[in-house]
Amino acid sequence: MNNAGLALPRSLEALTEAEFDRTIAVNLKSAFLCTQAVLPGMRTRRWGRVVNISSGAARNAGVMGAHYNASKAGLEGLTRGYAARLVQEGVTVNAVAPSLIATEMIVGREAELAAQVPMGRLGTPEEVAEAVLMVAGNAYMTGQTVPVNGGMLFT
């Protein structure tokens, strides 16, 4: 599972090039490097599961900024690219896209953000973990992004 994530809330005017580069490196490049590192063994065994943790921000405005959106949209593109190229080798690659989960990323804004969720509450890390286990356990699913968002976005 590729779960590295950096969320620097920035406006378009405040975002620096260094912050943009760091966000892409942590949220996208790290998944590439980790996947590349485990692929030889998966290919040898002709079996493997890669699950990338994306975000609902890959498909909507989100609350962090355009740099975060871009990094997570890129991660979903990377997911589909690997999935298409590895499916014949027994390796599945999927993403789970949480939105507004009660983690340190949103400390201090819980009530404000929970009000945006149709379910009326923030998600939990355990609920995201359940989606990851479901995806990892499904041998017929590949190249998909599973949203975990309390009804904020339907696909």
Taking the C-alpha atoms of residue 40 and residue 17, their distance in angstroms, rounded to an integer, is: 34
Q: Which of 49, 68, 72, 92 is catalytic?
A: 68
Active site residue 82: no
> Treating both helix axes as pointing N-terminal to C-terminal, what angle do 17-24 and 66-86 enclose, rounded to 10 degrees?
30
Q: What's the residue count for the chain?
A: 155
Q: Residues near 87 by Cβ (< 8 Å), separated by ≥ 6?
A: 142, 143
Residues with catalytic function: 68
